[in-house]
Chain A
Amino acid sequence: MTLLLLFLEFAKVGLFAVGGGLATIPFLQDMGTRTGWFTNADLTTMIAVSESTPGPMGVNMATYVGFETAGLPGAVLATLGLITPSIAVIIVIAGFLEKFRQSKTVDSVFRGLRPASTALIAAAGLSVALSVFVAAGGAETHAFTLRWPVVILSAVIFLCTQQKKLKKLHPVAFIAIAAVAGAVFQF
């Protein structure tokens, strides 16, 4: 019964959360309070782990909540619940777009969408940059300090991705090098 409930609860999250993984957090808080499966403190740990492990954050959180609630079957069903609405909705939309691909109207709408989509990605990148580059000072000073090693590493990697030979490196190679640099220099 818990398994079925997990699937349904996460299908609800998948249906109503719109956007990135962070959009699922309010739904998870509400789920924890209603079902008693996990506390807000548990959720904080789950968010931290989901952010620091491979995999899209929203998926990681569904897997984690499912596992903590009902073991491996719980992890599988919570994750399947999360993705089921997406699969259904996107297949309908993609089918619709395929059908109207030749339409001039759909084409002109997408020509307007693309710069906005690019802007949203840039905005998301900037807010990640802000959260990674700036460290809050002590509680009483309200001062913010720039985390220079992180800023410099980021700048170096960016320059490498613009360089003719180095940009052929797989993105994950940069991620691996950066992880080692962070660990060695104790970022």
Chain B
Amino acid sequence: MNIYADLFLTFAKIGVCTFGGGYAMLPILQREVVEKKGWATEEELTDYFAVGQCTPGIIAVNTATFIGYKHKGVPGGILTTLGVVFPSLVIITAIAAFLSNFAGIPLVQHALAGINAAVVALIASSVLKLAKSNLKDAVSGGIFLAGLALALLLKLSPVILIVCAGVIGWVVYGLIQKGGEGK
């Protein structure tokens, strides 16, 4: 298949499979982009989420643009982003036009409760995978635990957390360990 068509269609598929916010997209991204297509590694995906969370725009769109750009430059970035929003355009337009009471239908509510149970399980499984590739030493483990506590208990802004973690990474891995290796 033409690579541009592949980028668009893969991200349209990811859009269809996402229920909820950008985080719900992660399990699908890991399967389609990391495992099936090899367009990014687990580490790169984590990087895109890190940047996507503290730059303008919603995470799902930012991550799609990132992967497309990395793979096929500006046209790639545009195509993956159009791909990820395409299903929303079709589905939401159909629902808004014909089924304005959609969210109130009992069957929909029951099915959605089930879907949410699956989304929670899938995010948990994704986090385990990310933890395996990203938490490799005491420092990264510490950043993870501190970040989790600050995000949950203090509701600290992701932007502040990401910036602080970047500074810690720069100091620990860039300055201290580099100095240590030199001796």
Contact = CB atoms under 8 A, between A and B. Distances in A.
Interface of A: 14-24, 45, 48-60, 63-64, 67-68, 72, 75-76, 79, 82-83, 85-87, 89-91, 93-95, 97-98, 104-105, 107-129, 132-133, 147, 150-151, 153-158, 161-162, 167, 170-172, 174-175, 177-183, 185-187
Interface of B is mostly: helix
A187 B113 contact: yes
A125 B116 CA distance: 11
Kindly name the residue among B53, B78, B102, B108 whose own CB sees the greatest number of chain A CB atoms within 10 A: B53
Interface of B: 15-28, 31, 43, 46-47, 49-62, 65-66, 69-70, 74, 77-78, 81-82, 84-85, 87-89, 91-93, 95-97, 100, 102-104, 106-128, 130-131, 134-135, 139-141, 143-148, 151-152, 158-159, 161-162, 164-170, 172-174, 178
A115 to B, nearest CB: 4
Given A63-B92, A111-B140, A116 B147 contact: yes
Given A53-B92, A54-B17, A128-B23, A114 B140 contact: yes
Contact of A179 (B43, B87, B114, B162): B114
Given A119-B144, A120-B161, A157 B121 contact: yes
Given A51-B19, A86-B65, A121-B126, 15 more contacts: A56-B15, A56-B58, A86-B58, A109-B166, A110-B169, A111-B140, A112-B167, A112-B170, A113-B46, A116-B161, A124-B123, A150-B117, A182-B114, A182-B115, A185-B110
5 contacts: A14-B57, A112-B167, A119-B161, A123-B147, A175-B118
A114 B51 CA distance: 10
A49 B102 contact: yes
Nearest to B18: A56
